[in-house]
Structure 1
Amino acid sequence: MFTFGLLEQGPRGIGHLIAQQEDEVADFAQFGVDWEAHGNPALLAHHAQHNPNARDQHPFDAFSTPDAMSEVVVEPPNCPFTAEQVALLDLQLAQLVDTGSRDMAVRKVVWKEALAICQRIEV
């Protein structure tokens, strides 16, 4: 099957080696700019009103921060275990499986073992 596919459709998997042709842009002055909107005084006034510091700050400055930060309040989860029980869970889980593994099959085992341990812990 591979040989026939190779003969019929050509080699595959080396597409990144073939140089991609870039699209021709006829007029660079018009490319990507909405000149009607750029000349509309109402839109420019709206932009200036809602972006007062846009010209003062460099958008790629490493130390730039927004004027107003959004506040996200996160309630702590309702954990039924005490701190000692959580430590026991962590200890037993670390003895059974590799909790630092990035393999999804191992992570699935971690969750199953954690559930089994949690069911044995008395609340």
Structure 2
Amino acid sequence: MALAVLGVGVNVHQTRDQLPVDTATSLALCGAVDPSREVILADFLAEVATRHRQWIAGGDQLAALVDDYRAVCATIGREVDIHIPDGGLVHGVVDAVDDDGRLVLTSAGGRTVYSAGDVVHARLRPA
């Protein structure tokens, strides 16, 4: 049995000064008019359930799920730091997500796949 851990956070009503970092935003700041946490949660859980059914079905449905993920994955092509579970840190560029959902990273050490770790996108520093 495979295990996946999913952590998600959504800033709903926060103002600019309430956000934890300069690059964060909230639905309210993006123009959502009185966003309902209940509606957001219900829609999110419905989508997770749909995607879970694709995963469990396997075959063509799983392939479609993987393709959909790759199409919107903001990490592919990005320079990142991966904080791996043993305490190490690897810096490189994410080339792809393989068919098993692992990040394919090219770094000074070569090309490696990672299935666990905290991924931090490198951000351009303002001039």
TM range (shorter): under 0.3
Greater strand proportion: 2
Greater fraction of residues in helix: 1
Q: So what's the TM-score if we normalise by structure 2?
A: 0.20
Larger Rg: 1
Q: TM-score scaled to structure 1, two decimals? A: 0.20
